[in-house]
Structure 1
C-alpha cells in the first residue's frame, strides 16, 4: 500500500528508540486490531507471514510478537458478535485471590507453560531489513486483576506479605519470558507494558511501586542493556512522579504518551534528552475526527515531538477496532510523506 513512500529499514527504528536522530521518523504501535487489518487488506491477517507482509505494506520496520501463556485473571466479558474479538474489563469487586487459602489454590502458570512458537517462527521468516520486538508485561496489572482492585487496595495494608508474594510469583514467570526473549538473537527490542497510572495520577503510592514493581522493570531493563538493545516501557496515565524511576530502570523509550495525561511539548522539553518518545496521537481523534484533522495533528507531532529525532510516530495507545480506518491510514501516510529529516 505505502511501499513506494519509504524503504523499510529497521535501523531507523533502532536509532530512534536509542533517542538518536535517524533518517526519518519511524512508525510504531503496541497493536493493530484484527478488524482494522481486515479492512485494510480485505482479508484476515492471521499467520506470521501475513503479519510481516501487512506491517511492511504500511511502512512499519518491525514485527511485534508476544509469547503465549494462560493467566487466569478476574475479568468480565462483553460479547460483540459483530467484531472478531470480545471486549473485557477487570472486576473491581470480585477476587480470585483474597487470602492465603485462595492464594494456595490459585493455578499460577509455570515457566514451562510459556509458548514461544510464534516468536520462533517469526525469527525464521523476518526479512533482513526488519526487526522483531519481543513484548509482554502486566506484572502489576496481573496482581491487582487477580485480586480485584478493592481487595488489592485493602490487602496492601492488611496483608502486605501476601501482596508481596503475588508480585514474586507472577513477576518470576513474566520475567522469565524476557530472559528467554533476550537470548533470541533475532529479537532486536524488548517491550514491557504495564499501566500504573490514570490520567489524573498514579494508581497507587509511588513508594509501593518502588518496592514491588520497579525492581522487576529494572531486572528486565538489565536484560536489554546486556544485549545492547532498546527497551520500551508502556504505561498509560500521568507518569511525572516516577519518571526518574523509569529512567533508572534502563528504559530507552516511553510509550504511549496519552495527550490527556502528559503534554508532548512538556515531555520533549523535560525529558527529550534522556529518553525517546513513542506514540501520542490521540486515539479519540483517530476514532472521531476528520482525516484533515488527523493529518494536521500528525504534522504537529512531527514538528514538536520529532524535532531532533527521538520520536516514533503512532497512536496514544493502540489501533482499536472503533477507529476510522481512513484516519489510521492518514496518520501513517502523513508520517511517511512528511517525516523525513
Structure 2
C-alpha cells in the first residue's frame, strides 16, 4: 500500500490552515485531508512498533514528555494536520465517577473496559450534590498541552477535547440516565443545578485552553442520540445541553479557533439548531443505519463541514476490495465539492483491524 511507504518515509506535509479552510469550504481541496476524534492507544502502539520500529513508552509522570513527543510524532507521520488531545489518562478535566469493568475482547485487548453505570448515579439528592468532589478548572495542569504545543511540527496544530461532553458527564458520570429520568420529575431543580455546575466548570476550563496559541480548535464529543431518536427530548437538549455548546463554540470563534462536534445517533430533530444556532464548524459521527455520510453531505453539507463517515461496522468487517470500493464511493460523493475530511464514522477503536484502517487512509492518499 502507498500509505505504508508514506508513513515510513515521513512524507507528511501538514497544513492545519488549509485543512480548516477546506473543511469550512473557504478553499477547494487540493488533496484528501484526514480526520479522527479518537484513536485507541493500542492502535497507536501497534502501528508504532510495526511500521516506525519504535515502542511507545507507557505514560507516567516520569515519561510524560517522551510520551507526548512520540504521540505528536505519530499523528504527524500518519498524515494528519493536527494532533488530537483526548482521552489521555491524567490529562484534561475529569469528573470522578463509578464505572463497571468487563473483559476487553478486542484483538488488541487492553485487558478490561469501563462501562457506564446507567441506573444509579453518584448524585441522587442535594446532599450528594454538595459533597461531590467538583474539579476546579483553575487547578488543572496545562503542562501536557504546553508540551504538545512545543512538539508540534511546522504546519500542525492541536485539536482538543478538554473533557467528555456535558450530557455524557451528567447522565453517565453523575446522575445515571435512569436516575436522571426520575429526577426530572421528582427534583427538576437538582437536575438543572448539575447541568449548570458541570457546564460552568467545562466552560472555565475551555476559557483557559483558548488562550494557548498551539490549539487550533476544540473537537468536542457529546453523544446525544441513539439509533432512532435523540437520547432525551429535543426540548430537553435545547434547554440544558445546547446552550453550553453554543457558549464554548462562541468562545472558540472569538479566539480565532474552530469548533467541531462529535455526537452519535439520530440527531435530525436538533441538527438545524446545532448548525444555525450553536454554530458548529463541522459535524462528526455517522452510522449507516442512522444516516450515511453521503446523505448527510447532500442534506447539510452546504451549511457545515462534514467529518469522517466510514461506517465502523464496515471498517471492521469488510474485506479489502469491499472496503476500498466503499471508501472510494464516499470520496466520490463528498470530497470534490469541499467541506469534507476522510476518517471513520466514529473512532479507530482497538478492535479495528490495522490493515483496514490503513486501507482507508490509502484510498485517501491515492484519490484523484
Q: TM-score, normalised by structure 2?
A: 0.87
TM-superposed deviation, 1:52: 1.8
Report the 3-state secondary structure (helix = DSSP H, G, I; strand = E; otherwise coil) of the residue aligned with 1:251: coil
* In structure 2, distance between residues paired with 1:306 and 1:124: 32
Partner of 2:38: 31
Give CA deviations for 1:137-191 in whole Å, capped at 9, x if unaligned: 4111111111111110111122111001000111111112211121111111211
* In structure 2, distance between residues paired with 1:262 and 1:120: 38
Report the 3-state secondary structure (helix = DSSP H, G, I; strand = E; otherwise coil) of the residue aligned with 1:281: coil
* Deviation larger for 205-214 or 38-47: 38-47
Partner of 1:49: 69
Report the 3-state secondary structure (helix = DSSP H, G, I; strand = E; otherwise coil) of the residue aligned with 2:243: helix
Partner of 1:40: 47
Give CA deviations for 1:78-100 in whole Å, capped at 9, x if unaligned: 24497336311111222211111
Query: Does the 8 Å contact 1:69/1:115 carry over to 2?
Result: no
TM-superposed deviation, 1:298: 1.0
2:324 to 273, 290, 295: 295
Partner of 1:135: 161
TM-superposed deviation, 1:6: 5.6
Give CA deviations for 1:87-145 in whole Å, capped at 9, x if unaligned: 11111222211111221222111123422221110111101211111223411111111
Partner of 2:81: 61
1:195 to 195, 199, 223: 223
1:87 to 103, 108, 113: 113
Structure 2 unmatched runs, 5+: 50-54, 60-66
Query: Does the 8 Å contact 1:35/1:84 carry over to 2?
Result: yes
Aligned length: 339
Structure 1 unmatched runs, 5+: none
Query: Does the 8 Å contact 2:286/2:311 carry over to 1?
Result: no
TM-superposed deviation, 1:58: 1.4
Report the 3-state secondary structure (helix = DSSP H, G, I; strand = E; otherwise coil) of the residue aligned with 2:133: coil
Moved over 4 A (4+): 3-6, 79-82
Give CA deviations for 1:285-338 in whole Å, capped at 9, x if unaligned: 121211222211110110112231111111111101111110000001110111
1:124 aligns with 2:162: no
What is the alpha-carbon root mean square deviation over aligned residues? 1.8
Report the 3-state secondary structure (helix = DSSP H, G, I; strand = E; otherwise coil) of the residue aligned with 1:197: coil
1:170 aligns with 2:190: no
* In structure 2, distance between residues paired with 1:326 and 1:10: 26
Q: TM-score, normalised by structure 1?
A: 0.94
Partner of 2:282: 253
1:151 aligns with 2:179: yes
Partner of 1:222: 250
* In structure 2, distance between residues paired with 1:305 and 1:156: 41
Cα 1:12/1:257, change in 2 over 3 Å:
farther
